[in-house]
Structure 1
Amino acid sequence: MELSISLTGDSAKYIQIYEEIRQAILARRLLGHEQLPSKRALARTLDVSVHTVQEAYEQLLAEGYVYSKERSGYFIAPFEFDWVQEEQQLETPLSTIISNDIQYDFHNGHVDKETFPYSLWHKLLKKHVNKNNLSTSPWAGEGFLRSEIARYVQRSRGVVCDASQVFVYGGTQSQLQALSLFFGPQSKVGVEEPGFKRVHTTLRQCGLSTEAIPVDKAGITLPSKTIHMLYTTPAHQFPLGMIMTVERRAALLQWANLMMHTLLKMTMTQNFVIKGCQSPL
């Protein structure tokens, strides 16, 4: 077999060889069970080392585009289904981003570049970031920081906890991803409506189903359906900004306690049924 490969790009040569063969396979210019040239033959044709061709072939092999036979060489792996999307030409050019001349940017997730204290930020980075504090930290966060957070939430929010119950993450998204892995994809999560859209998106990306729970002047309303988790922002509802009333907080805690006992009872009943089916008559 002769291959038409052009090594004109800036990337490594073995990557260019891999990409061109891969595209030929996906475009069906190379068919299933056809044999690729030997490594030495292709290396001579392209004026590259045998090692370069071997790296390209091994990458194709690792991704399943080719298979190998001992003492025979490499062959194109067959596939029976159409797994390549047809290339589409854009009918309209990409829209140009217009820079609005605004004084303050309150958009969620944005940083006001004009008012951010860059000089102070750089000064603190130089002062505190060095080779002595770049070692791997405990996965749950530094112990001193977690202890201080536990003390802070007890003073400011009335939450009684200790450092072992505090976990430090880099943001809301990473926290929700960890919770999703812990509870599993079978869980259903109640989210505020309106609420933080990125929470809804993250939960769905992790495979969990969500249930929209309406919000009124007192905060999130009591869920009417069975759910396993509830995401709410009682101290400052996002995006409406109201603070959840004491009456609503108490009612929500009562609902959570009742829901916990209901789910535990359902779990115990299911375990009893399963064990009963497995037990001999």
Structure 2
Amino acid sequence: MLTYDLQKGNRPLYEQLYFAIRHDIERKHLAAGKRLPSKRLLAKHLNVSVITVEGAYDQLVAEGYVRAEPRRGYFVCSFEQVAPAEKRASEAYSEADDSLVCETDEVLTQPDISFDLSGAQSPSGLFPYAAWARTMRAVLSEETESTLQKAAHPRGAYELRSAIAAHLRGLRGMDVSPDQIVVGAGAQLLYALIVQLLGRERIFAIENPGYRRLLQIYRANDVRCVPVMLDDAGPVPDELLRNEASVLHCMPSHQFPTGITTPVGRRQELLAWAAKKSSVNGANRYLIEDDFDCEFRMTGRPIPALMSMDAHNTVIYTNTFTKTLGATFRIGYMVLPKDLSQKFAENLGFYSCTVGALEQLTLARFMLSGEYERHINRQRTHFRRVQNGFVRALDATEASPFIKMHHVGAGLHFVLEVAESQAGVSAYKGENDPAVYEQALYDAALKRGLKLAPLSEFWLADRCTQSSPLSNNPQFMINVTSLTEDDTRNVAQLLSDAICEICMA
């Protein structure tokens, strides 16, 4: 029986239990395949509630340490852990990082669209204008001209980099220094800096299906890009070896658009790949961790950042403030490993920061005052209510027998899969082409004023005959953040009507 000393304090009991079991799994004290005690039995043994044990088990399942088997219980997963280097870079020299936000390719919506479920439309009415205005007035009245000039440092204002480092330490468990952080005017500029830093002669691998604009940005910077296929655990390592890439741009916490969370076993495989030099030219390999909506995991604790697991200084962490503050805030940041941070200072230190001093210093104060964290908490609560309300409403419609929803609560979007009914197949798949069935569903929704995002639109290579690598059924990325709570039932019914029109044709 598992025995741990759980103490009431600042950390919730379920987190203490989660960390204790995870510690035992990582150190092989709990062998792969071992069956964990039932939730009720362990709760009684530890004198805690069943909900506490359930919360710990759910987090372990989400991160891939444990698998749940219906009517059998919970079992320890098998994975190989990369041996740590002698010293982690973050222990000697740390910096903060930034992840580049995933924005859909289309910025303008069609005029006849009433509800955009593709994520292209930003939510309105959530930005704390009053708090932001107060903070900006304080900066204008209290900061000196000298401070404003220093904000043009190539890495960005020290005040903002310090605030970002503190934010990452609290949210992502990343022990990074302000000196590792580079601030820039949005994701696209940061991608270009990464290319200059790593070199254009490299081959960059991008998840497929994935963010099409990312492919366009790298190619515009004269980089050769190759797609790497996904399975249900994320990027497939064997494909990285076949295509000779030395850089992988990935989204391990919540992949766009499939919603996949890469489990710990696959993460260790990717880190092991990055820890070895390229077999083609002996170059160091790197993982670019795009953590675009990490603040908005709706269930359980945030999934640990890949960089927090990196023992060989191979991960470049990237993020932006676009998802939290809105698309008008073109501020992003990246965290570099020690060697790349030094290389940035030597080779790219001639750049001035591309974000204005006033914006940087205002954002720094906004974060350090606690306003930013309170704003995120309000957003997360709102988005959770909208997403949960929409899912419940859709489950209660006539379309329920035809649909499955994947990765709900993992972030701002989830995947809706529509099963092929015999009637729908007969009516819309006379040539046995799944794309025809998918298009029929898309058109039926559009006719009702709903814009959907088919997963097939995110294929980066030649268009495949299926919607996603995980299913032959049509799948759609659903983002409901632009809806209000009052919209959810009406929109769910409209989507149900569209699905039933096709599936019951």
Normalising by structure 1, report the TM-score: 0.51
Higher RCO structure, 1 or 2 (CA under 8 Å, sep 6+): 2
- Alignment of 1:262 with 2:279, yes or no, is yes
- Aligned residue in 2 for 1:135: 149
- Report the structure number with the largest CA radius of gyration: 1
- Alignment of 1:111 with 2:127, yes or no, is no
Aligned-pair distance for 1:161? Answer: 3.2
- Alignment of 1:180 with 2:191, yes or no, is no
Aligned-pair distance for 1:192? Answer: 0.7
Cα deviation code 1:97-133 (max 9, x no counterpart): 525333xx55445423454444554444444456746
- Alignment of 1:247 with 2:247, yes or no, is no
User: Per the alignment, in what secondary structure is the counterpart of residue 181 of structure 1?
Assistant: helix
Alignment of 1:85-124 (within 5 A): 98-102=111-115, 105=116, 107-108=118-119, 110-124=121-135
- Aligned residue in 1 for 2:422: none
Aligned-pair distance for 1:150? Answer: 3.1
Superposed CA RMSD? 3.0
Alignment of 1:41-60 (within 5 A): none
User: Per the alignment, in what secondary structure is the counterpart of residue 199 of structure 1?
Assistant: helix
Alignment of 1:59-70 (within 5 A): none
Normalising by structure 2, report the TM-score: 0.30
What's the % identity of the aligned pairs? 25
Do the aligned residues in 1 keep the contact of 2:168 with 2:174 (CA within 8 Å)?
yes
Aligned-pair distance for 1:142? Answer: 1.9
Distance 1:156 1:199 in 2: 26
- Aligned residue in 1 for 2:213: 198
User: Per the alignment, in what secondary structure is the counterpart of residue 214 of structure 1?
Assistant: strand
Among candidates 244, 247, 250, match of residue 226 of structure 1 = 244
Q: State the one-letter code of the partner of 2:254.
A: H
Change (3 A) 1:175 1:128: same
Structure 2: unaligned runs, 5 residues or longer: 1-108, 285-505
Change (3 A) 1:119 1:225: same
- Aligned residue in 2 for 1:71: none
Structure 1: unaligned runs, 5 residues or longer: 1-95, 268-281
Change (3 A) 1:225 1:100: closer
Change (3 A) 1:161 1:119: closer
Change (3 A) 1:151 1:108: same
- Alignment of 1:237 with 2:255, yes or no, is yes
Aligned-pair distance for 1:233? Answer: 0.8
Farther off after superposition, 148-157 or 168-177: 148-157
Aligned-pair distance for 1:170? Answer: 2.4
Q: State the one-letter code of the partner of 1:184.
A: G
Aligned-pair distance for 1:234? Answer: 0.9
Change (3 A) 1:127 1:154: closer
Farther off after superposition, 249-258 or 158-167: 158-167
Alignment of 1:17-36 (within 5 A): none
Q: State the one-letter code of the partner of 1:144.
A: E
- Alignment of 1:215 with 2:230, yes or no, is yes
Farther off after superposition, 208-217 or 163-172: 163-172
User: Per the alignment, in what secondary structure is the counterpart of residue 244 of structure 2?
Assistant: coil
Q: State the one-letter code of the partner of 2:122.
A: V
Q: State the one-letter code of the partner of 2:279.
A: T
Aligned-pair distance for 1:266? Answer: 6.8
